[in-house]
Amino acid sequence: MGPDFFARHPAAVARDLIGARLLVAGVGGTIVETEAYDDEDPASHSFSGPTARNAAMFGPVGHAYVYRSYGVHWCLNLVCGETPGSAVLIRAIAPEHGIERMRARRGGVADRLLTSGPGRLCQALAVTREHDGLRLDRPPFELAQREAEPPIVVGSRIGLTKGVETPWRFGLKGSPFLSRPFPRAAG
């Protein structure tokens, strides 16, 4: 997964990251939920141009963008796009490697809640501001593309007040580790 993978529209990258494996210092698992953001998107941190916080989003693709959310949690994004200012938010993974370390870091919550949310997974993988701007193809990161496309569900992004209608949230169908269910069409 080099620059060729990331130098595409963030929605395409977000979809293709479902089923990929993400590890940080050996702890992690399969990505099961992502969201795409780009610079023409009022919900994106990059919408109003570069700032100190979002500098990584305007740097080279294939690097991490980590920011603090609500003053309490960290959120991990993968910088991508054909032009500067796009990224994919990693919202949930399936906990598969280093589960004991995740349990210790997460303070004994149920296993289903170890990594099922952007703040939760950063706590479980110990992702902080120190990872902001780091390359994803070097330690401590380890990112491996999936082998075949799994069943994918699509929906609206979570927790936004702008850009709510843009269907740029992607999930692994049927995964028990989604941060929230995907509403299913009647029928």
Residue 125 is encoded by which pair of tokens? 């993988």
Among 1, 12, 126, 158, binds DNA (CB under 7 A): 158
> Which CB atom, from 108 or from 187, has the smaller least distance to DNA?
108
Size of the site for DNA (CB under 7 A): 38
Among 4, 52, 184, 186, binds DNA (CB under 7 A): 52
Instruction: Tell me if 185 contacts DNA by CB under 7 A.
Output: no
Instruction: Tell me if 35 contacts DNA by CB under 7 A.
Output: yes
Among 162, 164, 173, 174, binds DNA (CB under 7 A): 162
Among 26, 51, 149, 151, binds DNA (CB under 7 A): 51
> Which CB atom, from 62 or from 119, has the smaller least distance to DNA?
119
Question: Following DSSP, what letter does each residue of the chain receive, concatenated?
Answer: --HHHHSS-HHHHHHHHTT-EEEETTEEEEEEEEEEE-TT-TTSTTTT---STTGGGGS-TTBEEEEEETTTEEEEEEEE-SSSSEEEEEEEEEEEESHHHHHHHTTS--GGGSSSSHHHHHHHHT--GGGTT-BTTSTTEEEE--SSPPPEEEEPPSS-SSSTTS--EEEETT-TT-SSPPPPPP-
CA distance 49 to 64: 18
Residue 33 is encoded by which pair of tokens? 């939920």
Among 4, 147, 148, 161, binds DNA (CB under 7 A): 161
> Which CB atom, from 48 or from 139, has the smaller least distance to DNA?
48
Which residues between 78 and 137 bind DNA (CB under 7 A)?
Answer: 87, 89, 106, 109, 113, 117-121
| Residues of this chain that bind DNA (CB under 7 A) | 35, 37, 43-46, 48, 51-54, 57, 65, 68-73, 75, 77, 87, 89, 106, 109, 113, 117-121, 157-162, 179
